[in-house]
Amino acid sequence: AQKITQTQPGMFVQEKEAVTLDCTYDTSDQSYGLFWYKQPSSGEMIFLIYQGSYDEQNATEGRYSLNFQKARKSANLVISASQLGDSAMYFCAMREGRSYIPTFGRGTSLIVHP
């Protein structure tokens, strides 16, 4: 079974609008963590946000917030006030137990248009 599922291969959003990128995960570990990374066309992986399974509050970093719904095993990324520079691939990833190594989803391509 897929550990991380990103069902949206591509998303379009208008500049200044908010967008939600979906991510569901599968794990039997009680301790785990969820990441979101941005990969622009240049290829570098840029860390955006992290949510630990025991964190009670949803993680937020500037315009990025993670909508963590533990019972539904979902960890959607919300980008508010989209900017043209947000156009990129976005990967959801999960680490399990004591491992530092994340498993990545297939990614969602986000295009922000003016």
Partner 1 sequence: GAVVSQHPSWVICKSGTSVKIECRSLDFQATTMFWYRQFPKQSLMLMATSNEGSKATYEQGVEKDKFLINHASLTLSTLTVTSAHPEDSSFYICSAKRLGGSSYNEQFFGPGTRLTVL
**List of residues contacting partner 1 (CB under 8 A):** 33, 35, 37, 42-47, 50, 52, 91, 95, 100-107
Tokens 């979902």, residue located = 74
Taking the least distance from each CB to partner 1, the nearer of 98 and 114 is: 98
Q: Rounded CA gap, 107 and 7, in Å?
A: 9
Sequence letter at residue 59 = A
Three-state DSSP state, 33:
strand
Q: How far is the CB of 43 from partner 1 (least distance, A)?
A: 4
Alpha-carbon Rg of the chain, whole angstroms? 13
Q: Are strands 60-61 and 32-39 parallel, antiparallel or unpaired?
A: unpaired
State in angstroms the smallest separation of the CB of 105 from partner 1: 6
Q: Which is nearer to partner 1, 33 or 65 (CB)?
A: 33
Give whichever of 30 and 114 is closer to partner 1, judged by the CB atom.
Answer: 30
- Tell me the closest approach of the beta carbon of residue 99 to partner 1, in angstroms: 9
Q: Which is nearer to partner 1, 13 or 34 (CB)?
A: 34
Residue 83's SS3 state is coil
